[in-house]
Amino acid sequence: MTPVHAPALSETSATLSLLFVVLIPCAAAGLALINAGLGRFRNASHSMLSALCVIAVAAAVYFAIGAAWQGSVGQPAFAVHVAGQDWNWIGAGRFFLRGLELGGWSSLATLFGLMSVGIAAIIPLGGGADRWRLGASCASTVLLAGWTYPLFAHWAWGGGWLAQQGFIDSGGAGVIQVVGGLTALSITWILGPRRGKFNPDGMPSALPGHNAVYVLLGCFLAWLGWLGLDGAGAILFTGAEASRVVLIAVNTTLAAGLGALAVAAITRARFGKTDASLCANGWVAGLVAVSAGCAVVRPAAAVIIGLVAGALVVYSVEWLELHLAVDDPGGSVSVHAVAGLWGLLAAGLLAAVAPGDAPGVLLAQLAGIATLLGCILPLTYGLNWLLNRVMPQRVAVEGERQGLDLYELGAGAYPDFMTHNEDFWQR
Amino acid sequence: MKLTGFLLLAGGWIIVLAAIALLPSGPSQVTFVLVALGVEALGLTLVFRAHLIPSRDRR
């Protein structure tokens, strides 16, 4: 295995990466708006508050233990010696960020981690929308920020065994998006579908989101945030020069745009009308997919990545709902897990590397995908399943009928609106 | 069925680790990794099917 070294940051690169890192909260705001808009109006306030709370919990837990487990390149780590190779498997840093060296690469990577763990924590809220208790989502975030996220982040970004293989994940398609998306899948399985979602014959009913404007505004904010995620991640974790920042921004924008266009074309051709919420999902799917290889693919490759991500979202949303009975109101599984896995594969297939290095890069990407599916999914499902045994995660029937805003917060987001109860009539 | 599915998922990952650790770089390593992904696909199918029945019962 190849030892991993921290990139030497020039003053320009360090300044740029700091500027990019402070854009990341825009991605969180965008995802929170998308989740709120795709949920029902009686849960809107709860959805936004849940996003704030899970970011707060994620930051606190990451500060306490997550950053120590994640570690960073060149810092102490636990390694096992197998078959003549050192397998660096988890960080051995100090808890509560003690020993953090200010001013260097390590402190910027820690700040990036603190921001991005919040993004990963917001993603499952889309899967559990309209039925996930606030306390339970915070407890689940403790598991995500304290164990699941730091483990894979160490392997990919902290000099762990995947990084030693040459795994490429510049902006966190795997570390942030797929980890969050697989947690969303686990949550949808554990919570089960919303009441009234499936008819007695097993066919899904349409429960449209309550505010398409929030969803589309969220896309604009997510675009800005992703420029930060991809730019900072590429500089910090793939050693991209400051001169590549323009390429990263071009790739990010192209993939997002082509993802949305692909969805618009497919929905227009199939249903006769363009679906606004699916187009928004296509936009974010393009952002997610290009995150992996944003610093190493050419713009033409970013176009392909965005187009495929958009097409995947349309068919994945339909397949999950119609054939697999997964009720994912925010589309988190399709947008973050499926598109993220495609992005990791695409980085291996389309990265502009020397021909001799291409098979090694593809192998590392396949190993990363296998790790996410074979290790992270069982781990996050198991942890959340155990949590559900001691602290039921789904809200009571009365809470779902009344709406989480009134039931858990005591006040609705839109007090002038009337409540319609036809969602709960027997069909 | 759910437990079997998760065991297959984990088993596929272990095959990947074994291939990286024990096999020399080359076609055999890639073949093992692809086979492992096939095992994981089978596991994922089982896990999805295991969740299909309860979720439709809970409507």
Question: What are the tens digits of pLDDT across the range A129-162?
Answer: 999 999 999 999 999 999 999 999 999 999 899 9
Check CB contact of B54 with chain A, cutoff 8 Å.
yes
| CA–CA separation, A277 and A109 (whole Å) | 34
Q: Where are the alpha helices (DSSP H) in A272-338?
A: 276-291, 299-322, 332
Q: Which residues of A16-54 are buried (b: 16+ CB within 10 A; e: fewer)?
A: bbeebbebbbbbbbbbbbbbbbbbbbbbbbbbbbbbebb
Give the per-residue pLDDT at A300: 97
Give the per-residue pLDDT at B55: 53
| CA–CA separation, A141 and A148 (whole Å) | 10
Instruction: Among B12, B52, B55, select the one facing A374 at the smallest CB separation.
Output: B12
Instruction: Among A82, A325, A366, select the one facing B56 at the smallest CB separation.
Output: A325
A86 phi, psi to nearest 5 deg? -90, 120
Instruction: Among B6, B33, B58, select the one facing A367 at the smallest CB separation.
Output: B33
Beta-carbon contacts of B42 under 8 Å, excluding residues fewer than 6 positions away, are B8
Q: Looking at CA atoms only, how far is residue A10 from chain B in angstroms?
A: 35
Instruction: Specify whether the CB–CB gap between A168 and A308 falls below 8 A.
Output: no
| CA–CA separation, A120 and A144 (whole Å) | 8
Interface mutation vs chain A, best among B23, B55, B58, most A CBs within 10 Å: B55
- Of the two residues A223 and A79, the one the predictor is more confident about is A223
- Of the two residues B42 and A8, the one the predictor is more confident about is B42
**Residue from B20, B48, B49 nearest A2 by CA:** B20
Coil, strand or helix: which one is A101? coil
User: What are residue A86's DSSP bridge partners?
Assistant: A81
Q: Looking at CA atoms only, how far is residue B30 from chain A in angstroms?
A: 6
Place of tokens 């858990």: A408
| CA–CA separation, A387 and A370 (whole Å) | 25
Check CB contact of B36 with chain A, cutoff 8 Å.
yes
Check CB contact of B2 with chain A, cutoff 8 Å.
no
CB pairs under 8 A between A and B: 86
**Residue from A377, A342, A346, A348 nearest A365 by CA:** A348
Instruction: Specify whether the CB–CB gap between A287 and A226 falls below 8 A.
Output: yes
A91 phi, psi to nearest 5 deg? -70, 155
| CA–CA separation, A230 and A106 (whole Å) | 18
Give the per-residue pLDDT at A154: 96
Instruction: Specify whether the CB–CB gap between A91 and A114 falls below 8 A.
Output: no
Place of tokens 């036809």: A422
Burial (Cβ within 10 Å: 0-12, 13-18, ≥19) of residue B34:
middle
Which residue in chain B is spatially nearest to A87 when comparing CA positions? B21
Is the predicted pLDDT of residue A424 greater than 90, yes or no?
no
Q: What is the pTM of this model?
A: 0.94
Check CB contact of B18 with chain A, cutoff 8 Å.
no
Check CB contact of B6 with chain A, cutoff 8 Å.
yes
Beta-carbon contacts of A426 under 8 Å, excluding residues fewer than 6 positions away, are none
Which residue in chain A is spatially nearest to B46 when comparing CA positions? A324
What is the H or E stretch that residue A163 is in?
helix A161-165
Q: How confident is the model at residue A3 (pLDDT cuts 50, 70, 90)?
A: low
Give the pairing type, strands A85-91 and A77-82: antiparallel
Query: Is the Cα dihedral A48, A322, A190, A123 positive or negative?
Result: negative
Half-sphere exposure of A271 (CA within 13 A, CB side): 12
Instruction: Specify whether the CB–CB gap between A291 and A230 falls below 8 A.
Output: yes
| Amino acid identity for residue A19 in this structure | L
Q: What is the pLDDT of residues B30-48, one digit of tens each?
A: 999 999 999 999 999 999 9
Q: What is the pLDDT of residues A409-423, one digit of tens each?
A: 998 888 876 655 555
Give the per-residue pLDDT at A201: 81
Report the 10 Å Cβ neighbour count for A11.
Answer: 8
Is the predicted pLDDT of residue A332 greater than 60, yes or no?
yes
Q: What is the pLDDT of residues A61-105, one digit of tens each?
A: 999 999 999 998 888 889 888 888 888 899 988 999 998 888 778
> How many residues does the structure list for chain A?
427
Give the per-residue pLDDT at A181: 98
Percent of chain A with pLDDT over 70: 96
Which residue in chain B is spatially nearest to A190 when comparing CA positions? B51
Beta-carbon contacts of A134 under 8 Å, excluding residues fewer than 6 positions away, are A46, A49, A50, A53, A404, A408
ipTM over 0.85: yes
Give the per-residue pLDDT at A419: 58
Mean pLDDT rounded to a whole number for chain A: 93
Give the per-residue pLDDT at A84: 82
| CA–CA separation, A407 and A398 (whole Å) | 8
Q: Which of A172-181, A252-261, A381-390, A414-423 has the lowest mean pLDDT?
A: A414-423
| Interchain CB distance below 8 Å, A324 and B25 | no
| Amino acid identity for residue A84 in this structure | G
Interface mutation vs chain A, best among B3, B6, B7, B13, most A CBs within 10 Å: B13
| Interchain CB distance below 8 Å, A326 and B55 | yes
| CA–CA separation, A334 and A316 (whole Å) | 6
Q: How confident is the model at residue B59 (pLDDT cuts 50, 70, 90)?
A: very low
**Cα B5 from chain centroid?**
8
What is the 8-class DSSP label of residue A337? I
Interface mutation vs chain B, best among A375, A379, A385, most B CBs within 10 Å: A375
Instruction: Among A197, A370, A381, select the one facing B33 at the smallest CB separation.
Output: A370
Instruction: Among B9, B52, B56, select the one facing A373 at the smallest CB separation.
Output: B9
Which residue in chain A is spatially nearest to B9 when comparing CA positions? A374
Written as one string, the DSSP assignment of A193-210 is: PPTTSB-TTSPBPP---S
